[in-house]
Structures are given as C-alpha cells and as structure tokens.
Structure 1
C-alpha cells in the first residue's frame, strides 16, 4: 500500500473472485492489548512548586497537553485500553480532565489513596476482577518513547514474575581513581567511566505479584520486588535506550518543553 500509494487492497481467491477488502485504516490499527496499565499520579510534586501549588504534577502541561495525557497516548497507540490511575493530591483535577477515558477510546478507573502508600501500595487497592494478564505499572511524571509492547513481550517470553525497566547511566570521573587495600595501592585508573543501570520507574508485574500486596499496606516497588526474589521468583530487567525523562525538578520540566517538539508527535 505504501509503495503504490493505495488506500485499499482487494482480497481474491485462486479464481480471482473478490472475497474481501483490506483498507489502510484497518492495517494501521494497533493490536488490542487487554493488559491493564496502572499509572501512579498521586504525588505532591514539591520540587516543582509553585507550579504544583494548584495542579498535580502529572497534569502540568508539556507543550499543549498534560504530561499524563502524553503518557496515556503512548500506550493508546500501541493498543492498550484498560487504564487505572492512582490519585491522592488534588484528584479532582485529574478526574475532571480525563473522566472515564471515553474521549480517548479507553477505559479509566481511579484508585484513590487516602494516605500515601508508597510506589507499590496502591496495588492493594486494585479491583480483584483484573484480567489475569501481566500489568504495566509506572510513574505518571515521565516522558518516554519506550515501546511498551516490546517490554511486555520481553517479560512474557522470559516467564518473569516481575520486570524492572532500566536505563544505562554513564558517570565520568575527571580525576584519577586510586583503589587501595590496608593502606596499599591495588589499582590506579585514570579518569574512568562507570556505567550503572538506573530504575526508570516502569515495571511489568505478573498477576500473582500484583495481587500479593495487601490493602492499605505501605510499600515501595523495590521492596516488593525484593520480597518476590526472597520467594525465588524470577525478577528481571529490560534495558531501554529509548528517550526517557523523569520530570522531577524544574530543570527537567524546562527540558521537557523543548524535547516535546522533537521527540513527540501530537495525537
């Protein structure tokens, strides 16, 4: 279709009888994904005050849209439609903007935390009727181009109980590093570069892992993953090199305003 600039292709049998029609619109529709998506949007955003005095951080506009809408759109174009959003600080701002999600052809269920429960505690408030499929969970103050479908496929193909999405960070030392033991030099490295995997705040959890969090228990995701490892569950990583920005401080927010023009298309 792309090569010949066609909007439709006839489907014929071995006798050239017309049996169907494929349109460009149908071909471009993403495969529907029933995996639930859980977005954390309850933080106070204290490091972005005064911008967050009257607005929850995920609802701050980056370009023409709230950062939470950019994130939802990244999922939506990949076929995800079942969304859960945890709220705490100024929940009405989020709920009034997104409603039930029908304007975006998705379903949104709000999970309200009466008191902050950590990065993983809201899992205990999810309905028990969730589909028995891996759940994607992440912070709502992130801009990213990560392919969530590939992340999910990695999790499932490796039969993992939980997957943490990581990104490599390089840290260059501008001095010579001296290593020693009991007062004696064991090694000298001139201006080394160290590489670390950092947590992007994006996870895939098996239904059993997500359901293991009890209601109204305060827990962070790294603690939950550690608990699962103690039970000999397979907890792995997915390394990404795609665009990712955690909007935690004013400098990050200002960078996002520039990046949105080059990394994202309006949807």
Structure 2
C-alpha cells in the first residue's frame, strides 16, 4: 500500500482542504496521512473563521507520521504563515519524497488563506524542494510577478517560476477567458512542454478543484506513474469530478470525488505536445 501525505488546512464543509485530499486518496487507493496547518469554519458560501495551528505542532504531526510510515509523496495546500512554511521546508529537505505544492492563497469566496509575508517564504524555502507546482492563474501572477492574460504571458510566468528550482509547473487555465475549454499547460525544467485540454463545464460546483487535482497528482506519483501520465490521470480525475456534480450546498458546491472510479474508462484528455 502506497502511503501519501497532505499538509493543509481543514474544510469543515468537506469540499476542499484536508477533507478533499483524503477523499481523493481513498478513491485512488493510496493510504492518506495528514498534518493540519489550520482549522477553518467553512462551507460552500465561504470561510467564516480560521484558527492556525502552531508551527511546533505542525512539526510534531510531521515527525509522528514520518517516524512510522514510509511516505512516498507529499502534497501541500493551505499553509497560512511564513513560520509554518519554514518548519515544513526544513523538515522535508531531509526527506526523499516527491512533493506537490498547491499554492493555496485565496478561497472561492475571496478570503485570504496565505498571509502576504508568507509568499516570499514559499518562493525561497518550499518551491525549490518541489517536484510539481500547481498554481491557478491568480496564484501564478503572485508568485511570478507577471500579469497573465494569454498563453504567452502564461509561459513567461512559468519560466520565471521554474527559476526558483521546482522541476515542473502546471499552469491551470481555468481563469483564462476561453468560453469553450479549459487548457492546463505543463512546463518542465528540461524545457519541454505539453498542454491538457478539456471541455469547460458551466457550473458553480467547483469548490476544491485545486485541492482535488493536486491530491490526485500526488496519488498517481506515489503509485509509480510517470510525471506526464500522472498529470493526465489527475486531469481526468478532476474533470470528471466537475462534470458530475453532487449539487449540494447553497454556494460553490464541492466536486464529485466518486466520479473517476465510475467513469474513468469513458473519458480522455486531449494532449498537445510542444
């Protein structure tokens, strides 16, 4: 049984954060462990409160898990503060694990999930350790300092981020203004790129898509998939989760983590090599 870990905040509404990660791990048949960085009072309408965990206790959770389990891959989500990021980075640089960073900054309702002073710590301490970084467009703009309104600017931002030392950047294209499709561009440190294109689904039920995609990617990497194939399967997982909504909650509802196992043989992602 492959063991993975999520380092993130909770979502009491169950659609994102630790809860979404563990659901994804379970569906993909890897054993999920966790270290919680913050508790949130949250639902599909927004974040009503945040209670950060002390950096020392985050470290204690990491130490407990790694002292007992052979963790193959780790993903991070909401990290909240520079102090928490520094503790995680110092711990993980001593471990031989694949690291997927979902640079969670803003909740669907607009609430800040990462303190401004934590961005520099993310760039200087944690991103250099990462196998993959999975920013959406607004997150990539913050990390790179480049405004992104088209694919050329997306490429410029990705190449700027690669200079921080990460092996691969997945620029999620959901925020680009394409009415019919959502195209994610993958940029690797060796200079190769490819894109993954899927139909844009008109739905408000997209809460937790970033968490779910990065958790799926972490799962497939832990199971031994190549980086490219792990990306493709993770894209399938999140696309099917969006296409088959659960229709619960009164705001931005959660995605359907059950859909991949039910329909994975019926869906293919369009890949464009470049």
User: TM-score, normalised on structure 1?
Assistant: 0.30
Greater helix proportion = 2
Greater RCO (Cα-Cα under 8 Å, separation 6 or more): 1
User: TM-score, normalised on structure 2?
Assistant: 0.30
Greater strand proportion = 1
